[in-house]
Amino acid sequence: MKSRTALVLLSFLLVMIAGTSVAGAEKWTAGAGLAMVPDYIGSDDYEVAPLPYLTVAFENHMNVRWVGNRIQANVIPHPIFKAGPVGEYIGERDDVDNNRVDRMDDVDASFMLGAFAGFEYEGFNGRIEVMGDVADGNDGIMARLALGWGTRLAENMRLNLEGFTTWGDDDFMEAYFAVDAADSIRSGLPTYNADSGIYDVGLNVTYHWNFTGAWSLIGIAGVSQLVGDADDSSPVVDEGSETQGRLGAIFTYAF
């Protein structure tokens, strides 16, 4: 399952780059870093995760952007309106630190694949995206609404803020937040059904510092609050935390 998900992810990235390359690449930026993230959705235990980074910008405003577990390509040649394919990787819930949750049935890794539409105008941006699992992990559908704003702090420094909220269907919610009878027996947690609905609201902050020549440092911080059937009424989340944090840093090189 891990190799299949990785193959889907890599194929999706290559298709997006190839599909937009006809426009003529104007700028490539590549890099890598590390992040601290929860070891499962709803956990209060954290693990180190890799942060790959690749952006390809084209002369006609089209672009490809891969940051961490998320890949997006704008295929609309317009300075304001944006749309195209989007993908997001959700790691498996397996061998986690919490003993009771670890005794539950594993949730395989998922690759959510779909489309987005949005805008960028005078520092403001927004998008709506809908994705479905193509890797037989959660077998669900998720949708996200995000609104952001960015500003230059100095000639070589930029700050971006983004607020977001995410909705999951029944399958998505059941995969991460429900406890069925078998899992209850294995873990000792009470049974719990999780229905479709908005499951988080959050804020991401990104700081970009071009410290010398083509080299930059990107700092990423985020916090989200699990809500609805994903809050601490879920035994899985009650074992961890309904507040989820993320913190990372990436070194990049532009060429």
Contact partners, residue 249, CB within 8 Å, separation at least 6: 33, 34, 35, 51, 217, 218, 219, 220
Q: What is the pLDDT of residue 9?
A: 58
What pLDDT shows up at residue 15?
Answer: 60
DSSP per residue, 102-127: HTSPPB--EEEEEEEEEEEETTEEEE
State CA 26 to chain mean position distance: 26
**Cα–Cα distance between 94 and 54 in angstroms, integer?**
28
- The confidence score (pLDDT) of residue 218 equals 98
Q: What is the pLDDT of residue 54?
A: 94
Question: What confidence score (pLDDT) does residue 20 get?
Answer: 55
DSSP letters along 63-103, please?
Answer: EEEEETTEEEEE----SSEEEEEEEEEE--B-S-S-HHHHT
- Residues 103-150: tens digit of each pLDDT: 999 999 999 999 999 999 999 999 999 999 999 899 999 999 999 999
- Which architecture characterizes domain 2-254 according to CATH? Beta Barrel (2.40)
Q: What's the pLDDT score for residue 8?
A: 60
Could you tell me the mean pLDDT of each successive run of 10 residues in the chain, 255 residues long?
A: 54 59 74 97 97 94 94 94 95 95 96 96 97 94 98 97 98 98 97 98 98 97 98 96 98 96
**pLDDT of res. 17:** 59
Q: What is the pTM of this model?
A: 0.91
Query: Domain limits of the chain?
Result: 2-254
